[in-house]
Amino acid sequence: MPAIAQTAKTMTQDTAQVAATARVAAKPAALIKGLSDILQTVMRDAKSLKFTGRRDVLGKQLSDIYHLPVMARIAVGAHWRKLTPAQQTQLVSAFSRLTISTYASRFNDWTGETFEMRGVQDVRAKTVLVKTAIVRPGKPAVEFNYLMRQFEAGWKVIDIFLKESYSELATKRSEYSSILRRQGFDALMGQINEKIALHERYPQ
């Protein structure tokens, strides 16, 4: 039995390593196509999954494809260097939970929407914009574009643009920087945690 258990453990580890290697080698468009497929599935099954189910499914996907620590750093701009290592860790954790809970709340229904891949645009060295759109029956499509950068761990999302030019992180940076400048770090953490609590308290 111990030998069998060890073999099973080794096979599980090998499978995880193969999956991790595949993610590193995957190209930007393939990663976003996979994410779009998951988002559509979550939307279709939104009512049966409920908020917690959507959060669990999307949490794994977003943690794999989004570089949440880098995104948290971008969101506070120059203030990042003024934070202690403990505060940086706290910010990354809260920012990650907020991002995941926001998606779980946002993708809460399905009325026939489909995701459409619209190409990949080079931005600069090791950085591309993967263009997609959410096609809604009887309504204008919603552009949903992903800025991706190549890291040692593979291609990762570092920002999201709506309607081509609306950067979600630029909006957060303006908001977060104002709070840090006027009220301090604890106030920012309080606001982020309150938003997370609202998603959990009043799930869609």
What are the domain boundaries of the chain? 2-201
pLDDT at residue 16, as a whole number: 45
203 CB-near residues (< 8 Å, 6+ apart): 50, 51, 52, 104, 105
Bridge partners, residue 114, by sequence? 135
- Rounded mean pLDDT of the chain? 89
Q: What is the pTM of this model?
A: 0.84
The pLDDT of residue 203 is: 61
Query: Phi and psi at residue 160, in whole multiples of 5°?
Result: -125, 135
Q: For 88-97, what is each residue's pLDDT tens digit?
A: 999 999 999 9
pLDDT at 6: 55
Predicted local distance difference test score (pLDDT) of residue 164: 66
pLDDT bracket for residue 179 (50, 70, 90): very high
pLDDT of 137 above 70? yes
How many CA atoms are closer than 13 Å to the CA of 116, on its beta-carbon side?
Answer: 12
pLDDT of residue 202: 64
Task: Report the DSSP beta bridge partners of residue 160.
Answer: 146
Q: What is the mean pLDDT of residues 2-18?
A: 49
Domain 2-201, CATH homologous superfamily name and number: Tgt2/MlaC (3.10.450.710)
Q: Among 1-15, 40-54, 56-70, whose mean pLDDT is lowest?
A: 1-15
* Residue 19 pLDDT: 47
Give me the mean pLDDT over the 21-32 stretch: 75
Span 119-148, mean pLDDT? 94
pLDDT at 165 over 90: no
Residue 15 confidence (pLDDT): 45
